[in-house]
Structure 1
Amino acid sequence: MSQTVQPYPLHFKPDFKERVWGGRALERFGYDVPEGHIGEGWMIADHPNGVSHVLNGELAGQGLDQIREKLGAEWFGSKGSHSGNGRFPLLIKLLDCNDDLSVQVHPTDDYAGLPKGELGKTEMWYVLDAKPDAKIIYGLKSGVNRESFAAAIAEHRIMDSLQVVSVQAGDTFYIPAGTVHALCAGVLVAEIQQNSDTTYRLYDYDRPGLDGKPRELHIEDSLNVTAYEGAGATRMKTDGAKPGEWLTLARSPYFVTDKGIVDGEWKVSTTPESFDILIVAEGTGAIRWGAGTLDAKAGDCFLIPAPLGEYTLAGRFTVLRSRVE
């Protein structure tokens, strides 16, 4: 791969993951989803546990890990090329929650128990679709401390400590490390997160995993990393988004995510500091830049290199844009 590849928007073949809670909903986006209970599509991924590969243009067939090694300093931007562990800084997923996910919590970057090379995991969710009665677990009830939480876990009444909220399509949730959370059955979610695969499980409904055995729990690590006073988690409805304007959904030290409505043509631009990641939430259209056009439809995720500069979103679709600031 030469260093003279002209920057262009990258579209990736996802890396799909079977999960005990997964289903078949990711097929609706036109992906060739493998057999089984597929819970996660790793859409833009550069991690030892999963890498996405480019589908289009000169770099077709290359993994994001290869692109990062050859072009990362130039293509990811002055801030986007620094992640804390040398890899691409974000991991972008689509999640099909056909059943409840385990109740879990993620560590911060400085947690002593982190596996070697792993970062903490601050993330956010954008709800693409939700069944009428869908709910999620989002944080602890007020007044829960380490002692009372540990007792509730030991006495098999953890659910009494957790906050359960109803969700609808278009809702967004920012989940800083330390926030206890769980997606529940009936939601389809876009997840933007630090490039980490470290999850501590508190509770898994006493169900068997894919191998028929209960999945491992991580009670001590979970109790250690939970932010009992709150970690700054926020949620919002996003139906206030207007065509041609960015509505900020989440601002973290690791990413800033905005929602935009494309209705016709909208000229936007990368910055020298960061790539743009685009997730098409609904609708259809195209991305146009100096040298070409790329079709865009619901479920597509694109990486726009920092040096591309100006590009145009055209058509009628809803898009999530994430970048590093």
Structure 2
Amino acid sequence: MKNKLYPLKFKPILKDKIWGGTKLKEQFNKPSDSNQLGESWEISTVPGDVSEVVNGKLKSQNLQDLLELYKGDLIGDKNYKRFGNNFPLLIKFIDAKQDLSIQLHPDDDLAKERHNSFGKTEMWYVMQADKGANLIVGFNQKMDDKTYLKHLEEKTLTKILNFDNVKTGDTYFIEAGRVHAIGAGVLLAEIQQTSDVTYRVYDWDRVDDEGNERELHNDIAIDAFKFDLKDDFRVDYIKEKNLSNGMVSCPFFTTNYIELDSNLEKENLHDSFLIYMCVDGEVEVVTEDTKEVISKGETILLPAAVKDFKLNSKNAKLLEVYV
């Protein structure tokens, strides 16, 4: 007999990066001794990096196995029909001590054809930014492949990229095919399709300890660019308290912003799992049988079978995600 499903917490999968720093361990208490901790994968079924449950009766089981066992009860019947045993989202926190490479991601069609993978449309919510920190998203002028390649060849790519100075709460929606990079000093939450396919087009000419540059993917990246995307990547959203305020809604995920200063009764009306990322404060997630607390920098997954629950908090800010 299958165990009854309940809100699931997972062991973070920690990734050292050449550009990583110390904020994930200092601000979110991620268990690492590294000074180059770049990413905390909160919920993942990427092969080789599958999330493991750390609470309740399903402790030590992994998300991939649970999906295959519980199917629609875990992710929703419509999602199971659409995705099968492929969990559709990858949830991360990212700390950029240095600039990330300038990059883009293929869409579903190209990713399936080349990598047998989902494409990668994503969004960012800035949790903290040092003074002067920026994000690169899109171009600062109308662009085509010929102009882009000329700047790439002449190493003047940064002249045509759009740099935005950012602060806490700033939110960006990055469709597959849009050029982007996280700038030094930015700590953010990332919600994305389940994909680890990145086309790196420029890496600031940096080298590793042995003098090697990281691989670039310009030969295949050019086909992935969508030069005709609109300049609509900045997300405006309302911050009315104790409500789910819409941020991003696209074919791959919906994300809402919730700011709590009192307890909130919730009902899952979507045929989907719900994910809560705590981006500030602390919240207690209460169901009929369970109570779980998540603090800033932590994440919880509510299976689709969990319909009624409470979010108890006096000070939490949450991202609410479903498909």
Alignment TM-score, normalising by the size of structure 2: 0.95
Q: What does residue 30 of structure 2 align with?
A: 31
Q: Does 1:119 align with 2:118?
A: yes
8 A contact 1:81–1:89 mirrored in 2: no
Structure 1 unpaired stretches of 5+: none
Matched, 1:60 2:59: yes
* Residue identity opposite 1:250 in structure 2: V
Distance 2:255 2:139 in 1: 25
Q: Distance in 1 between matches of 2:135 and 2:209?
A: 22
Equivalent residues in 2 for 1:42-121, closer than 5 Å: 42-82=41-81, 84=83, 86-111=85-110, 114-121=113-120
Size of the aligned set, in residue pairs, is 321
- Which residue identity does 1:52 align to in structure 2? S
| Structure 1 residues 212 and 62, CA gap change in structure 2 (3 angstroms) | farther
Residue range with higher mean Cα deviation, 266-275 or 287-296 = 266-275
**Offset at residue 296 of structure 1 (A):** 1.7
The equivalent of 2:300 in structure 1 is: 302
Q: Which runs of 5+ in 2 are unaligned?
A: none
Q: What SS does the aligned partner of 1:250 have?
A: strand
DSSP-derived class of the 1:244 partner: coil
The structure-2 alpha-carbon separation of the partners of 1:269 and 1:112, relative to structure 1 and needing over 3 Å to count, comes to closer
Paired with 1:203 and 1:294, the residues of 2 have a C-alpha distance of: 43
Shift of 1:24: 1.2
- The equivalent of 2:139 in structure 1 is 140
- Show the 5 A alignment for 1:175-254: 175-209=174-208, 212-230=211-229, 233-238=232-237, 240-254=238-252
Is contact 1:131–1:186 with CA below 8 Å preserved after alignment? yes
- Deviation of 1:196 after TM superposition, in Å, equals 0.3
Q: Residue in 1 aligned with 2:9?
A: 11
Which residue number in structure 2 is paired with residue 265 of structure 1? Answer: 263
The CA deviation string for residues 112-149 of structure 1, in whole angstroms up to 9 with x for no partner, is: 68544311100000001111211110101222210000
C-alpha displacement of 1:227: 0.9
Is 1:10–1:302's contact at 8 Å kept on the other side of the alignment?
yes
In the alignment, the residues of structure 2 paired with residue 81 and residue 140 of structure 1 have an alpha-carbon distance, to the nearest angstrom, of 37
Give the AA of the match of 1:257: T
Q: Deviations over 1:61-95 (max 9, x none)?
A: 11111111211332110233356574110000000
Q: Which structure has the highest strand share of the two?
A: 1
Tell me the percent identity.
Answer: 33
Query: What is residue 312 of structure 2 aligned with on the other side?
Result: 314
What is the letter of the counterpart of residue 220 of structure 1? D
Query: 1:223–1:182: structure 2 CA closer, same or farther, 3 Å change rule?
Result: same
Report the 3-state secondary structure (helix = DSSP H, G, I; strand = E; otherwise coil) of the residue aligned with 1:245.
Answer: coil
* Residues 213 and 241 of structure 1, relative CA distance in 2, 3 Å threshold: same
Bigger drift between 87-96 and 26-35 goes to 26-35
Q: Distance in 2 between matches of 1:211 and 1:42?
A: 28
Distance of 1:34 and 1:251 partners within structure 2: 37
Q: Which amino acid aligns with 2:178?
A: T
- TM-score scaled by structure 1? 0.94
CA drift of 1:186 comes to 0.5
The answer for the alignment partner of 1:286 in structure 2 is 284
Q: Kindly report the root-mean-square deviation, in angstroms, between the aligned alpha carbons of the 2 structures.
A: 1.7
Task: Classify the secondary structure of the residue corresponding to 2:5.
Answer: coil
Separation (CA, whole Å) in 2 of partners of 1:82 and 1:221 = 32
Pick which of 107-116 and 68-77 moved more. 107-116
